[in-house]
Amino acid sequence: MTKAEIINVVSKSIGLEKVTVQRTIEAFMETVKESVEKGDNVYLRGFGSFIVKKRAAKSARNISKNTTITIPEHYAPIFKAAKSFVARVKSNLK
């Protein structure tokens, strides 16, 4: 499902104009991105969490050049689905 499809579904569901729904969804996504960029986690009860996870430094291989490189430690944004959300997906996709 694309963002445009989500906007259409939400617009029909709650009876608001698509432009209003689009601005709302984009503002929500921007707020989540800004919070995670600052290192703050975002928790949406019943849906999931957008968290910042620290990745340790590790070595990797460049197989085309046959060399070893070191990937420095870094932070990555992660989405972790809520248990209730995971359970619904598992039960509906059998």
Dmax over CA atoms of the chain, in Å, equals 58
pLDDT tens across 14-63, in order? Answer: 999 999 999 999 999 999 999 999 999 999 999 999 999 999 999 999 88
Instruction: Give the pLDDT score at 84.
Output: 95
- At 51, list the tokens: 């968290």
Instruction: Give the pLDDT score at 19.
Output: 97
7-16, 32-41, 64-73: the lowest-pLDDT one: 64-73
Report all structural domains of the chain as residue ranges with CATH numbers, in order of start: 3-89 (4.10.520.10)
In this structure, are residues 24 and 32 in contact, taking their beta carbons and an 8 Å threshold? no
Residue 89 to residue 67: CA distance in whole angstroms: 42
pTM of the model: 0.79
